[in-house]
Structure 1
Amino acid sequence: MNATSFDALREQVRGQVITADDADYDAARAVHNGMIDKRPAAVVRVSQVADVIAAVNHARDNGMPVAIRGGGHSGPGFGTADDAVVVDFSATRGVRVDPAGKTARTEAGATWADFNHATHAFGLATTGGIVGSTGVSGLTLGGGIGYLDRKYGLSCDNLLSADVVTADGKFLTASETENEDLFWALRGGGGNFGVVTSLEFRLHPVDMVHAGIIIYPLEHAETVAKFYRENVAAAPREFGAFLAFHQGPPVPFLPEEWHGKPVCIVVGMWTGDPAEGPARWQPFLDAAPVAGSMVGPMPYPALNSAFDGMYPKGLLAYWKAAFLTELNDGAINAHLEYGKRVPSIQTAVHIYPIDGAVHDVGIADTAFPNRNARFSPVIACHWADPAESAANIAWVRDFAAALQPYSETAGYINFMDGDDTSRVAENYGPNYGRLQEIKGKYDPGNLFRVNQNIQPQ
């Protein structure tokens, strides 16, 4: 479809319609993952819901898929696609907080840094991701693991309502009292059911937290991992921390001799009584010799965006994910083996705890079914040099294969890559059939298929 075919759409939107003839087309089609090189038919930088409706109608009537871009962080690059109409929310990032009602409504292009900045002014927060530049919409629709999930549940567990443009161009609100089936599907089912234009969240009192970033020499990783396993299992829900394998980051509190070397890290925060903060972290400081640490009070948004500088747009990326019912010795050994060969300073191997409040929600209560798992390991490899792509992809795949014998069948949708789409049914397990029914109701033609796609029934 040539650019002139979009003249009618240009007349219907207040935002921009960018096609291959426009000077900023290459910038507009780029997503966070530099490996993705797609050529969409048009990128529509929407300014309001009316623009979304026009873009969806145009794509459907002309037989083109719709790709939805919020923060653009999708590892597989699902924020763009060849010959698609990209609905780009980068110009719509507003967050409105109701401090009395302890809720916030955010536009679909907001990042967690945007969201946390708005809510922190009122001493409030909800479960977000680990990196502030991650989009609120994408993380939430796929589940939403973060520092606060042990205390307050997943991001999707805190979703109160969502406004959605469906495949037929209708505008709906989904909540516990309106379009309840759609609301159920949105909480974990990804962008399969329509274009979410805004989301309303429940907020919680989170202001200053007692944060910890503790870095250990890799030779002590087994001791640290086993200590972490036992400590987190017994910790109150107010303690949220993940175990990680990285190359030593160039941070002021880590001596330069450790920069770029394989290390083991524990990162997290205590949100309970501030006076208890030092005592909650001291066991981790005593568990093994420490190469460097930063422990103390910190605004929650500061921790949530502490690693943003390491992940600029344009890095090449390849991801895998799993779920563990227990962090057993086999799973730990797989991390020890591959953790010593982390290939870049930007690569993140994290093991997130997802017990506590996550387990208060039933398997069938939302589309996110993985309520029996206690940990979610993710392997997020990032690098800058294309010449390293083959070796790094092989490392990720081999790592994931080594972890598989100790993992559940399902994996975390938000960290699945493009070659994992065949696993969608097993990732949703007992909820997949219902998701297919709802997909068939709201998107029978599979217009929204640039995602971890659920086939309409």
Structure 2
Amino acid sequence: MHVSPVTISRLQAALKGRVIEPDDTDYDQLRAVHYGGFDRRPAAIARVADAEDVAAVIAYARETGVELAVRNGGHSNAGHSVTEGGIVLDLRDLNAIDIDVEGRTAWAQSGVTAGAYTLAAEAHGLATGFGDTGSVAIGGITLGGGIGFLVRKRGMAIDHLLAAEIVTADGQILQVDADNHPDLFWAIRGGGGNFGVVTRLRYDLHQQGPIVGGMLILPATPEIIAGFVAEAGAAPEELSTIVNVMPAPPMPFLPEEMHGKLILLAFMAYSGDAENGDAVIAPFRALATPLFDMVQTMPYSGMFPPEEGPDQSTAVARTMFLDTVDLSVAQMIAEYLEASDAVMRAVQLRVLGGQMARVSNDATAFAHRDSHILANVAAFYESAEERPIREAWVDGFTDALEQTDKGAYVGFLADEDSSRVRSAYPDATWNRLRKIKAQYDPANLFRLNQNIPPATD
């Protein structure tokens, strides 16, 4: 639907925040999202100042029928943070953090980045686990689940969510928790942005001193890949790892003869007593002589490098769960990676379990607590003509990797078909989410997301 200057002016008059239009000098900067390949031009970008502003933008979208995109940090793999011709509800200015040190809780607005939150909490010796990237906004990653560097020891981000403030499709500003609108509180913990716009979140915090963490790079033979995954599963729950198997980029700290050869680039985070860290990391170092080893005692915030702007990389990516990565699976991974000539291609593996798995599957809308390994396959491309080639490779690779766990992590889904969204939720979870969607957003106003359609019966 066409958006007229008159209605845009009406929207601006209703907001404390600012409305950015295509003629504004910062329009291109503000419509950019983290990933490349999404060159969409919204009719306006509403940088909201508070929940009342959010309600006004929602009312505008509801009344005009224009497509509404909700942006937290702009990290949606599917480009859902921006719309073509619609309105972007931009939450980046909602960045206040209020920490109750004695009570070990924090209220944070949804535009706060994981890096900023981590630094603020760390000043008091506290932490809440989110993901693995500092520039991700806490609102977006929490609604999807949040699988990061503390997942085995502390669980997912949603496991630490105590309450939230959410603006629903009818403009109500609700406080939700286990006692108030418990169905909605259940749904937003893994159901994404389908049910409203979350403006504030309340988390619990735990004591967190220095960790033993950082980057470890090993050569990537099938034996080393399988061995690493086995060690990650056997390690104490205080250790969470994220490992990327990929051809070595021309990093200055890697031997030149390794450039282009397969490496295992792992991020290690041991959150137990630092004096035990070397013993926990030792089995991984014993797999092969490390090519690069920066695993050391450091603040937990050291896992998040300084925040940067959008990298605009273009890639085809798929996410899935695996039951195991044994030697035969590791051999397949190596063979597929060697067979592609993409400028960059990778398989990322995150061994799960621990505290994440001790939460009941029906406790939250994320219902894959029993999954063993989260895997992501990606191939980067440099032109539109190249994309179908990379897509075919990724599809073939993920088909070959598929095991008995057919689920998907909604937080990592890309721009895929509705069947993939459906695979993120078991039947009982899906049906319950659709009923809650029908209650809070029957017209599916919040549809630019990994969409859960409202129940119609």
1:2-41 aligned at under 5 Å gives the runs: 2-41=4-43
What's 1:246 paired with? 246
Q: Which moved more, 1:50-59 or 1:197-206?
A: 197-206
What's 2:51 paired with? 49
- Change over 3 Å in CA distance of 1:259–1:104 after alignment to 2: farther
What's 2:296 paired with? 296
**Alignment partner of 1:427 is 2:424:** yes
Q: Secondary structure at the match of 2:149?
A: coil
Q: Secondary structure at the match of 1:287?
A: coil
Q: Secondary structure at the match of 2:203?
A: strand
Is the contact made by 1:130 and 1:305 (CA closer than 8 Å) also made in structure 2?
Answer: no
314, 331, 337: which one pairs with 1:316?
A: 314
**Alignment partner of 1:417 is 2:414:** yes
1:385-400 aligned at under 5 Å gives the runs: 388-400=386-398
1:156-235 aligned at under 5 Å gives the runs: 156-218=158-220, 220=221, 222-235=222-235
For the residues of structure 2 that align with 1:339 and 1:453, how far apart are their CA atoms? 32
Is the contact made by 2:268 and 2:295 (CA closer than 8 Å) also made in structure 1?
Answer: no
What's 1:332 paired with? 330
**In the alignment, residue 254 of structure 1 is paired with which amino acid?**
L
1:117-132 aligned at under 5 Å gives the runs: 117-132=119-134
For the residues of structure 2 that align with 1:346 and 1:418, how far apart are their CA atoms? 20
For the residues of structure 2 that align with 1:390 and 1:53, how far apart are their CA atoms? 41
For the residues of structure 2 that align with 1:175 and 1:382, how far apart are their CA atoms? 41
What's 2:135 paired with? 133
Q: Secondary structure at the match of 2:76?
A: coil
Is the contact made by 2:236 and 2:280 (CA closer than 8 Å) also made in structure 1?
Answer: no
Q: Which moved more, 1:445-454 or 1:388-397?
A: 388-397
**Alignment partner of 1:84 is 2:86:** yes
Q: Which moved more, 1:314-323 or 1:275-284?
A: 314-323
Q: Which moved more, 1:335-344 or 1:367-376?
A: 335-344
Is the contact made by 1:255 and 1:292 (CA closer than 8 Å) also made in structure 2?
Answer: no
Q: Secondary structure at the match of 2:192?
A: coil
For the residues of structure 1 that align with 2:86 and 2:339, how far apart are their CA atoms? 38
Q: Secondary structure at the match of 1:321?
A: strand
Is the contact made by 1:238 and 1:271 (CA closer than 8 Å) also made in structure 2?
Answer: yes
131, 152, 156: which one pairs with 1:154?
A: 156
Is the contact made by 1:248 and 1:345 (CA closer than 8 Å) also made in structure 2?
Answer: no
- Change over 3 Å in CA distance of 1:284–1:422 after alignment to 2: same
332, 341, 352: which one pairs with 2:350?
A: 352
- Change over 3 Å in CA distance of 1:51–1:250 after alignment to 2: farther
1:370-424 CA deviation, whole Å, 9 max, x = no partner?
01101100124445555643333333222222222x2522111111111243322
Q: How far apart are 1:280 and its partner, in Å?
A: 0.9
TM-score by length of 1: 0.93
Q: Which moved more, 1:232-241 or 1:138-147?
A: 232-241
Q: Secondary structure at the match of 1:79?
A: coil
Q: Secondary structure at the match of 2:60?
A: helix
What's 1:408 paired with? 405
For the residues of structure 2 that align with 1:233 and 1:447, how far apart are their CA atoms? 42
What's 1:275 paired with? 275
Q: Secondary structure at the match of 1:351?
A: strand
Q: Secondary structure at the match of 2:348?
A: strand
Q: How far apart are 1:150 and its partner, in Å?
A: 0.4
Is the contact made by 2:320 and 2:407 (CA closer than 8 Å) also made in structure 1?
Answer: yes
Q: How far apart are 1:273 and its partner, in Å?
A: 1.5
Backbone CA RMSD of aligned residues: 2.1
1:55-109 CA deviation, whole Å, 9 max, x = no partner?
0000001112321100101111000122322110122222222211112222111
For the residues of structure 2 that align with 1:341 and 1:16, how far apart are their CA atoms? 50
Is the contact made by 2:110 and 2:199 (CA closer than 8 Å) also made in structure 1?
Answer: yes
- Change over 3 Å in CA distance of 1:342–1:151 after alignment to 2: farther
Q: How far apart are 1:263 and its partner, in Å?
A: 1.0
- Change over 3 Å in CA distance of 1:135–1:344 after alignment to 2: farther
1:211-254 CA deviation, whole Å, 9 max, x = no partner?
14221223x3x222222232222222111112321332555643
**In the alignment, residue 230 of structure 1 is paired with which amino acid?**
A
- Change over 3 Å in CA distance of 1:71–1:260 after alignment to 2: farther
Is the contact made by 1:93 and 1:107 (CA closer than 8 Å) also made in structure 2?
Answer: yes
Q: Secondary structure at the match of 2:316?
A: strand
Q: Secondary structure at the match of 1:428?
A: coil
For the residues of structure 2 that align with 1:288 and 1:144, how far apart are their CA atoms? 31
- Change over 3 Å in CA distance of 1:384–1:14 after alignment to 2: farther
Q: How far apart are 1:54 and its partner, in Å?
A: 0.5
For the residues of structure 2 that align with 1:82 and 1:407, how far apart are their CA atoms? 38
What's 1:456 paired with? 454
Q: Secondary structure at the match of 2:263?
A: strand
Q: Which moved more, 1:111-120 or 1:241-250?
A: 241-250
What's 1:378 paired with? 376
What's 1:305 paired with? 305
In the alignment of these two chains, the number of paired residues is 452
- Change over 3 Å in CA distance of 1:277–1:31 after alignment to 2: same
Is the contact made by 1:3 and 1:20 (CA closer than 8 Å) also made in structure 2?
Answer: no
Percent identity over the alignment? 37
Q: Secondary structure at the match of 1:115?
A: helix
For the residues of structure 1 that align with 2:177 and 2:345, how far apart are their CA atoms? 37
Q: Which moved more, 1:346-355 or 1:151-160?
A: 346-355
**In the alignment, residue 453 of structure 1 is paired with which amino acid?**
N
